[in-house]
């Protein structure tokens, strides 16, 4: 359990935040360094290139997703409800990193695309294990992903709408789970 330098983590946090909030275009090394409170030279000591930064974010996602899926697999409410409920952005480490990787994938960065594949497979697998019917499981996963998609678009009406009705949405999940 080596403890990575605090500066390194601050830089990664800043890069993920910029990706999530302002998009790939705004997530430059200059603005990342500024937000992290270090100079460009300081940043480049920890990450030799921009690719190295992106790589580190992808690794962070895979680690966070593995931890989260361990929790999801044993959640009392069941994997489906856990998944849909936590698809709303809450500011957790997984949220932020996942959103950042989605932005990287949107920029056609291959390692990000592959990492998302892995994470998505894991989620569907866990939901299927609980639900049984693979198509009901697929529908539940899509609901969660739709919720994520809406919660990640900057400042929209839909986020508020769906946040307010989360309880009722979870009851729709129950309907998909039961029978058929």
For binding to DNA (CB under 7 A), which residues are involved?
Answer: 5, 7, 28-31, 38-42, 44-46, 48-51
- Residues that contact a copy of itself, how many (by CB under 8 A): 50
The tokens for 126 are 């866990």
What is the nearest approach in angstroms of DNA to the Cβ of residue 26?
Answer: 7
Determine the Cα–Cα distance for residues 133 and 8; give it in Å rounded to an integer. Answer: 44
Determine the Cα–Cα distance for residues 80 and 72; give it in Å rounded to an integer. Answer: 9
Determine the Cα–Cα distance for residues 95 and 106; give it in Å rounded to an integer. Answer: 16
Mark 2-41 with x for binding to a copy of itself (rule: CB under 8 A) and - for no binding.
Answer: -------------------xxxxxx---------------
Determine the Cα–Cα distance for residues 139 and 146; give it in Å rounded to an integer. Answer: 10
- Residue with Cβ nearer a copy of itself (63 or 106): 106
Is residue 117 within the footprint of a copy of itself (CB under 8 A)? Answer: yes
Question: Quick one: which segment of 29-37, 74-82, 90-98, 141-149 binds a copy of itself (CB under 8 A)?
Answer: 141-149
DSSP state of 177: H
- Residue with Cβ nearer a copy of itself (82 or 148): 148
Dihedral angle at the C-alpha atoms of 139, 142, 143, 144, nearest 10 degrees? 130
Q: Which does 120 bind (CB under 5 to 8 A by kind): a copy of itself, DNA, none?
A: a copy of itself
Question: Quick one: which segment of 8-16, 41-49, 51-59, 131-139 binds a copy of itself (CB under 8 A)?
Answer: 131-139
Mark 86-105 with x for binding to a copy of itself (rule: CB under 8 A) and - for no binding.
Answer: ----------------xx-x
Query: What are the b/e assignments for 144-172, b being 16+ CB within 10 Å?
Result: beebbebbbeeeeeebeebeeeeeebeee
């Amino acid at each position: 359990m080596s403890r990575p330098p605090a500066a390194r983590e601050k830089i990664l946090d800043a890069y993920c935040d910029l990706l999530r909030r302002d998009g790939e275009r705004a997530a430059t090394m200059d603005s990342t360094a500024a937000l992290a409170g270090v100079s460009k030279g300081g940043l480049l000591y920890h990450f030799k290139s921009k690719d190295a930064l992106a790589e580190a974010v992808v690794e962070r996602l895979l680690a966070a997703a593995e931890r989260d899926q361990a929790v999801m697999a044993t959640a009392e409410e069941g994997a489906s409800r856990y998944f849909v409920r936590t698809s709303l952005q809450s500011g957790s480490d997984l949220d932020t990193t996942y959103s950042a990787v989605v932005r990287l994938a949107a920029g056609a960065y291959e390692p990000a695309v592959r990492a998302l594949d892995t994470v998505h497979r894991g989620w569907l697998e866990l939901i299927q294990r609980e639900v049984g019917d693979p198509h009901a499981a697929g529908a539940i996963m899509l609901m969660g992903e739709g919720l994520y998609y809406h919660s990640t678009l900057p400042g929209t009406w839909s986020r508020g709408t769906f946040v307010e009705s989360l309880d009722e949405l979870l009851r729709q999940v129950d309907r998909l789970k039961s029978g058929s």
